[in-house]
């Protein structure tokens, strides 16, 4: 079987941890910094970090529109923490402007600030009976899910912390900060399912993307 080609947005945040997990699972990985890096990917991860900074850099390097276009064409995308914020349709805050990839509304810092970070054992029905120890750092929360969005995991109090809409996947916590790779395997399964349906390996139309001169280096 051909290795899945997974891009990890590498502008800011914990992209290296995602790459390490994917590599250990046998996926082919690529750091995404410019529109040309999106070419021929089978999936994309938008990692945790600082959402306003990542959004500013997406615009600076000409990545926001190509990512939006590719997701609308069926490219699987997984957003963790800040990535989940950027995937949202709407945010109660006035910043950052989300990409609107997924039919969800998301509240930033819903569980508190950095000092309120915590770990929690969550039950994930797709993983069977063994709990997943999730790491929450300035975590966002889902405040609305569209009709076609599926709940993947909840906290004990019922708060949704992972959700999926076809090939679009979002988690409010950081699976890449643990040694448990089940969520990365889950995303690779999403990618393989889309490949079987003939939707994998989408190409960004990078020829017509105007990249600011400061992004060319």
pLDDT in tens, 120-167: 999 999 999 999 999 999 999 999 999 999 999 999 999 999 999 999
**Closest to 160 (Cα-Cα) out of 106, 118, 108:** 106
Catalytic status, residue 20 = no
pLDDT at 215 over 70: no
What SS3 class is residue 107? strand
Tens-digit pLDDT profile for residues 162-194: 999 999 999 999 999 999 999 999 999 999 998
d(C-alpha 217, C-alpha 199), whole Å? 32
pLDDT of residue 112: 66
Catalytic status, residue 18 = no
**CA geometry: angle 97, 109, 122, nearest 5 deg:** 115
Catalytic status, residue 81 = yes
Range of the domain at 153: 5-215
Identify the active-site residue in 17, 176, 184, 194. 176
Domain count, the chain: 1
Instruction: Identify the CATH number of the domain in which residue 115 sits.
Output: 3.40.50.880
**CA geometry: angle 104, 110, 116, nearest 5 deg:** 145
- Give me the percent of the chain exceeding a pLDDT of 90: 81
**DSSP bridge pairs for 141:** 107
Instruction: Provide the pLDDT confidence category of residue 113 given band limits of 50, 70 and 90.
Output: low
Instruction: Provide the pLDDT confidence category of residue 217 given band limits of 50, 70 and 90.
Output: very low
pTM, 2 dp: 0.88
Identify the active-site residue in 18, 174, 184, 194. 174
pLDDT of residue 8: 98
Helices 182-196 and 15-24, packing angle to 10 deg: 70
d(C-alpha 176, C-alpha 174), whole Å? 5
Identify the active-site residue in 17, 18, 81, 184. 81
């Amino acid at each position: 079987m051909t290795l899945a080609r997974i891009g990890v947005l590498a502008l800011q945040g914990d992209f290296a941890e995602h790459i390490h997990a994917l590599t250990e699972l046998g996926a082919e990985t690529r750091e995404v910094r410019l529109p040309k890096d999106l070419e021929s990917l089978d999936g994309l991860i938008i990692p945790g970090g600082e959402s306003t900074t990542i959004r500013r850099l997406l615009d600076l390097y000409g990545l926001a529109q190509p990512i939006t276009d590719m997701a609308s064409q069926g490219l699987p995308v997984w957003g963790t923490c800040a990535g989940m914020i950027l995937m949202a349709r709407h945010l109660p805050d006035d910043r950052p402007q989300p990409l609107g990839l997924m039919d969800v509304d998301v509240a930033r810092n819903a569980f508190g600030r950095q000092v309120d970070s915590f770990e929690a054992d969550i039950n994930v029905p797709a993983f069977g009976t063994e709990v997943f120890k999730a790491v929450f750092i300035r975590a966002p929360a889902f405040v609305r899910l569209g009709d076609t969005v599926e709940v993947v995991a909840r906290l004990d109090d019922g708060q949704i912390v992972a959700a999926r809409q076809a090939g679009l996947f979002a988690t409010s916590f950081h699976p890449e900060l643990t040694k448990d790779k089940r969520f990365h395997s889950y995303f690779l399964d999403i990618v393989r399912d889309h490949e079987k349906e003939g939707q994998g390996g989408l190409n960004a139309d990078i020829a017509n993307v105007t990249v600011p001169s400061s992004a060319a280096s």
